[in-house]
Structure 1
């Protein structure tokens, strides 16, 4: 880190405007524009991760009680993949695009330029602190932006490690980290940013969006929600139980796309519950509390919130239910007999507690889902194509996955994001690049076009108005037609004029040649 940056970052919350100005000045130098520079920084980001895998594992074990293997599976592999994918594709992603050929506009060379937005802010949560901070950073770097990173105060070991490593590996004039809690975040949000990416819960998101509105800072949000799983009795029951329970207990359920509740036909409920119990016994043969494979809840307040939901449920705990406040342990828990207004259905659980709701049929399951906010993810377990299509075609969600859980967030080429209350915009891979990219439209109108478009200039008269309506109004298809050519006509006139001018010139040259 340069001495200037270090001094700014160590002067407290009152100097966050200086941090932003520092990054803005770095961006204004134009260093982020060349693709080669972006690739250098993306490669440095990849090595920041690879060189320090043991340190990241120790930090996340300290913050979350997470096993080294789970950290590799859930975060390190995917984050490293984001950086490498951006490294290999940034040149292709950044190329200017020509718009589809149009007879009306081709002479003006309409082009879409891919340009950086400027200085962006990434605010990440505690549950996947590496993937949700450094993954979007790869997209911001690829798009040519300067970036300020704000990791969660609930992961102090990880946040301190990132603050140490970023200035060692990346250009400190363009990329910086600030740590802190509510006061620091509040100060940062008082500033204008060229884009903000916030991942977290809806309560804080409303604060972020309110602050951003005051400075007209555009925002992308990923907010989670109550993601349902719909079970069809035709499913492969053993496979369904294993994949569903893994999605629920991974990271102790602290996953924004974890299955939050299950909708099961009442006639199939007992059979389904037995299968889930068997899986949990296989996962943790000596019990989850003594297992190195089971994570812990991030903080005392989050533990108390989840335990409170469990304590107030009117459902029946059929598996698990034990807790340990001292170690912030909550056992994987299955709860049946849960009604729509139960404590476990009032908010996202974000823990290893799974309410199971009995329904009469798939129609009731769809009605139950649609009576609530659009979820970030929706899961369907079935071997019946018509069943899967019926659920997906009649619901809305950020993503929809058949016969598995949470892996969609790691699938290359798919956008990751919500809809409505579960978030706006998306990220991962090229979608992160697109989020932090400004699509700048350009036209270069040649002088000859004034022979065609002179009707736009005053003084206006009946003849110009007639020309405008003749050549600029699109022709409409018949009212009963499904398609048709609705393009304005002046482009055709332009081609005709060019051809006519060329013909006149050719005739003139022929006559000169004959003399």
Structure 2
């Protein structure tokens, strides 16, 4: 395996250079941001084969898998930022309450400064480049820290940014534990981190010393519910994909399944059939089945397969030297075992049974909040119960994982699965400060001058009356005033005979237009 240098001394000079660049306002230019995003897309196109090779070396994925889960979806995210940057960066006019008028109010979306993006090893490209693109689109300078556990992908991302982006504004810092520990202690303006809850806590703790805001995408145990009225074959195919893609090394993977007791046997049999169809008799020889990222992680999964007191109905074989864990299904494991209390992050699927959806809801709510919750079935009642009575980063009906590919949906966790979100406009605005701008008129006559001393009884009464209408938008007052003024003017014109004279003058013209229209 390629080795990544772990030199923390390189961090401060790069960080300082980017700070100085940001203070020149270079990255605030929309034209410049667009050019950088276009360069990024060009690099992703031209280096696509290099990414495929790196991902195959790091994770054993096929070209098809790397396209579907890395290169193509990454390009889509960058293209989405580029397509909408003009719209999202516009100033936003908002109402001004009458009580503080006359004046105008707006929101300016300004870049934060220098953003740190810490990518994960399981999808190195997809967890690194899209959040970086959002930060670029928002006008920030960016440092990307790839995971040293996927060293080949880390090197290709370094080459991508170095070759195609402005090096005075954007950088990749590679490194191991020492670099990771040091880099989070710097006073960045935002940190976007993808990884485990344990590492996320360390990042948040280090960032708190400088009051650096964070977006933490932390994974967790995402539950999957299979109801008795589901479309069984479709359900099984999508669960297999959601659990076993990338050998289960996916933060939003189906971590365990609750299947309705009445279809348990049918579900297990269908899983066996589809697993064989997906990966053949020997998944280790399948071109569509990935490796575990390191021997260390393979050994960790091997340990999880011990002492769960469940029934292994499929798989169970592990080869640490080959970084291979067979697709495994375990029926009714002990709910307090490590298999059911720790995020699995591998190709192992525990299956539990239920009779009543309320049992499942109670179980989910007794555990840390997951990054995703999946429901397979057609019961609108049960769908609504899960939406209303559980909390998760996202809830998905009749599919797994693919909600991530909708840039119009925010991606993020809640509670133990993280906080903050990115993707699409959410990512853009998460990398901005929404700066309020209030411009007040210099008009200072009554009643607008009652705010100043000396405070009299009449001023207090007027002020109290104003605050009764505190939520009334200024524009409504202006529109109402104009409408009333128009009615008054109309009444005066009628009283003096001007209205009658106006109608007499305009009558021939009205009749002419009417005839021409009828022709």
Q: Normalising by the residue count of structure 1, what TM-score does the alignment of the two structures yield?
A: 0.89
Report whether the alignment pairs 1:153 with 2:138: no
For residues 155 and 320 of structure 1, the distance between their equivalents in structure 2, rounded to whole angstroms, comes to: 27
Deviation track 1:226-275 (CA, whole Å, cap 9, x = no partner) reads: 10110111111111111111111101000011000000122321111111
Partner residue of 2:175? 180
Deviation track 1:159-217 (CA, whole Å, cap 9, x = no partner) reads: 11111221210010000010111111111111111111011111111111111111000
1:26-425 matched pairs, under 5 angstroms: 26-100=21-95, 102-104=97-99, 107-425=102-420
For residues 459 and 63 of structure 1, the distance between their equivalents in structure 2, rounded to whole angstroms, comes to: 74
For residues 290 and 281 of structure 2, the distance between their equivalents in structure 1, rounded to whole angstroms, comes to: 15
SS at match of 2:28: coil
CA apart distance, 1:429: 1.5
For residues 37 and 329 of structure 1, the distance between their equivalents in structure 2, rounded to whole angstroms, comes to: 46
For residues 21 and 317 of structure 1, the distance between their equivalents in structure 2, rounded to whole angstroms, comes to: 54
Gaps of at least 5 residues in structure 2 are: 489-519
For residues 251 and 456 of structure 1, the distance between their equivalents in structure 2, rounded to whole angstroms, comes to: 64
Q: Which moved more, 1:77-86 or 1:383-392?
A: 383-392
Deviation track 1:477-504 (CA, whole Å, cap 9, x = no partner) reads: xxxxxxxxx539999599869x99xx9x
SS at match of 1:114: strand
Deviation track 1:122-180 (CA, whole Å, cap 9, x = no partner) reads: 01110111011001011011100000100001011111111122121001000001011
CA apart distance, 1:96: 0.4
Partner residue of 1:508? none
For residues 491 and 462 of structure 1, the distance between their equivalents in structure 2, rounded to whole angstroms, comes to: 28
* Contact map agreement 1:323 1:329 (CA 8 A) in 2: yes
CA apart distance, 1:112: 0.5
> How has the CA–CA distance of structure 1 residues 473 and 274 changed in structure 2, closer, same or farther, with 3 Å as cutoff?
same
Partner residue of 1:3? none
SS at match of 1:39: helix
> How has the CA–CA distance of structure 1 residues 103 and 269 changed in structure 2, closer, same or farther, with 3 Å as cutoff?
same
**Match for residue 487 of structure 1 among 437, 455, 472:** 472
CA apart distance, 1:420: 1.2
* Contact map agreement 1:452 1:490 (CA 8 A) in 2: no
SS at match of 1:131: coil
Partner residue of 2:461? 466
* Contact map agreement 2:33 2:139 (CA 8 A) in 1: yes
> How has the CA–CA distance of structure 1 residues 354 and 452 changed in structure 2, closer, same or farther, with 3 Å as cutoff?
same
For residues 479 and 380 of structure 2, the distance between their equivalents in structure 1, rounded to whole angstroms, comes to: 52
Deviation track 1:94-138 (CA, whole Å, cap 9, x = no partner) reads: 000011465446641100011111111001110111011001011
For residues 479 and 241 of structure 2, the distance between their equivalents in structure 1, rounded to whole angstroms, comes to: 63
Gaps of at least 5 residues in structure 1 are: 1-9, 476-485, 504-515
CA apart distance, 1:363: 1.6
RMSD: 2.4
For residues 105 and 98 of structure 1, the distance between their equivalents in structure 2, rounded to whole angstroms, comes to: 16
Deviation track 1:52-100 (CA, whole Å, cap 9, x = no partner) reads: 1100000011111111110000111110011111111100110000114
> How has the CA–CA distance of structure 1 residues 255 and 490 changed in structure 2, closer, same or farther, with 3 Å as cutoff?
closer
How many pairs are equivalent? 484
SS at match of 1:375: coil
> How has the CA–CA distance of structure 1 residues 329 and 106 changed in structure 2, closer, same or farther, with 3 Å as cutoff?
farther
Partner residue of 2:512? none
Partner residue of 1:482? none
* Contact map agreement 1:473 1:488 (CA 8 A) in 2: no
Q: Normalising by the residue count of structure 2, what TM-score does the alignment of the two structures yield?
A: 0.89
Partner residue of 1:437? 432
SS at match of 1:212: helix
SS at match of 1:190: coil
Partner residue of 2:421? 426
* Contact map agreement 2:96 2:104 (CA 8 A) in 1: no
Structure showing greater radius of gyration is: 2
